[in-house]
Structure 1
Amino acid sequence: MTLGEGRTPLVPLTESVSAKLDFLMPTLSFKDRGAVMLAAHALRLARAGGLDRVVADSSGNAGTAVAAYGARAGLDSLVYVPEGTSPKKLEQIRAHGARVVEVPGDREATARAAREAADAPGTFYASHVYNPYFLHGTKTYVYELWEELGGRLPDTIVVPVGNGTLLLGAALALDELRRQGLTDTRPALVAVQAEAVSPLAAAFHAGADDITAPAPARPTLAEGIAVPAPPRARQILRAVRETGGTFLTVTDDQIRTAQRDLAKRGLFVEATGVACWAAVSAAPPRPGLTVVPLCGAGAKTGLVS
């Protein structure tokens, strides 16, 4: 079932900031961590009978990962994406044999269409948002950090947040490591959103426990985290607060600058994937070691202009 996902390098960017190169995953994004879990579970259900196809919704990377691991498992996959999704991501999804349905409207409209399709008999909804198996894949990000740092954790873990699957997986791993007695520290979780679509950041800084209304769906280069109404908003806000973390936002200009800066360092990362480096570069330094993920390869979207 595996495609060799995980074990991505951790490399220093500065004396106090290191980057986890998750764009080196098999489908070139961190979503492989969760997709392998969804596909393995779907395959078990298929072998038990009654499952004919897998349905997913995505702005690109999760759909690609589900398509690839679905192909690996021998399952038919149907991926719903918003109109305007990167042509390179659509090409990658189709290359794995999945059928693509482009949905007029935003990311929320796409999710609704996929959930309706998933109601059909014999369908497995491979949701990276709702399915708990996905988080048990993304949590391996933090377990790898613990191993790579010799049985300790960084002081700050910065993650991009749209639907929050990497952040929630990280929070799950931090809780498990403490319960298992493998660490007595709790890194601060710092969440990064695009300034154009930042409902969670607004709620956090207003002191709210949840978002009160969807954010306007404004265009942004960070399309992968442009989620106007994250379904797990309450859990995400609680996880950040419990670790003493915070929310940061980045502009498209900061994303452009960060992408070029990383490219000059030898790392070509897609626009959404550079958001954390853009945020950390602009914010006052935090004490100790900070780790940022570089979540998707630049080949998926090209150099932004």
Structure 2
Amino acid sequence: MKLGEAIQGAVPLTETKPHLDIFDEVYSDYMKQKIRKKFGLLNKELETDKDIYDSFLETMQKTGADFTNCFRCLSMLPLLGSPNFQAKLKDVKEYILTQCSTLEELKSMHKPEMDPRQLQAFLAMVQSNPGLVNALGRNFASITRDLEKLEKIKEMEDKTDEDQRKTNEEAWDSWLKKYVERLNIEMEGKTDLIQANAERVRVMNSNNPRFILRNYIAQNAIKAAEKGDYSEVRRVVKLLENPYNEEVDLGELALPQQVGNASKSKDDKFSDGGATSSKSKGTGELRSYTGMLYESKPPDWSLDLKVT
């Protein structure tokens, strides 16, 4: 309704209201279909599918896993009954675990904007005078978020890196078990696994991008441009023109394949014609001038980048 009110100077509210009344329903239906495509659930629609999505997001948040890469790698997992299914399942799990955050990264991600001592003081004030909540208005929402972050950090105080790795593994074991059970239902009545897997990969990879404009990628391009080198900007633009494509030909913009301190791509097990091979047409792995793969999990230093 607020949208209709905002544009009523151009379109009368009497004309937009009938459409706005059904907006939530149409949007909800669209999102359901989009989510099913992202997870490769193409043949059957179940009430429990929402739990697959919600628990996936919760698991990513709990483990600090990379959103884009985790979604993209799901197409590497074929349907049950496919050759080497268990091996592929293990590969997917191992890859996802490489996309999870370390304990230090999680602590950095949950670092409050406000000084912890100030937060505690605000909390004490609100507890003694609840009326302050209304007085603070929107500011209270940001304070609440910081308090939640502070609580998360306290939960991690006694954790070790090994504890976090175990937490990550258990969390993803649990979710993948649920996902595999759902894929089993998906295959009921299907006889042509090859065709079903091919369609699954096609749909999933056209709904889960391989490349996105990450903060650190933009920052690297900006730094190069500030020095007068715009080739990195052009490479990034070229990739983002076809973010879902597996094969991308950068032509003259392509850099020689780099080794050494460059971040590794997905395991070679996924480069044998799988859904998300890191090889591109005529260019090898797609790396920036810094040596990092464009599809890499963000480096540690990028956690402090702020969008302005």
Structure 1 or 2: larger helix share? Answer: 2
Query: Normalising TM by the smaller chain, what interval?
Result: under 0.3
When Rg is computed on C-alpha atoms for both structures, the one with the higher figure is: 2
Q: Which has the higher strand share?
A: 1
The alignment's TM-score, normalised by the length of structure 2, stands at: 0.28
